[in-house]
Structure 1
Amino acid sequence: MPLATTRRSGLVDQVIEQMRSAITSGEWKVGERIPTEPELVTALGVGRNTVREAVRALAHAGLLEVRQGDGTFVRATSEFSGAVRRLAGTELRDVLQVRRTLEVEGARLAAANRTETELEELTALLAERDRFMEAKDYETGVDRDAAFHLAVVKCSHNPLLAELYQGLTEVVRASVATTVNGDPSTARTIDHQGLVNAIREQDTQRAAAEAAGFLDELIADLDIK
Structure 2
Amino acid sequence: MKRFLMGVLTTLVIGVALGVVTVYSGMFDVAADTPHSRFVYHLIETVRDQSIKRHARDLAVPANLADTERIRRGAGNYAAMCAACHLAPGRADSEIRMGLYPKPPDLTHPEEEAVADMAARHFWIIKHGIKASGMAAWSRGGIEDEGIWDLVAFIQKMPSLSVGQYVSLVESSEGHTHGGLPGMETMHTGDGHMPSLENTERHEHSHSGGHDH
* TM-score (norm: length of structure 1): 0.27
Structure with the greater alpha carbon radius of gyration: 2
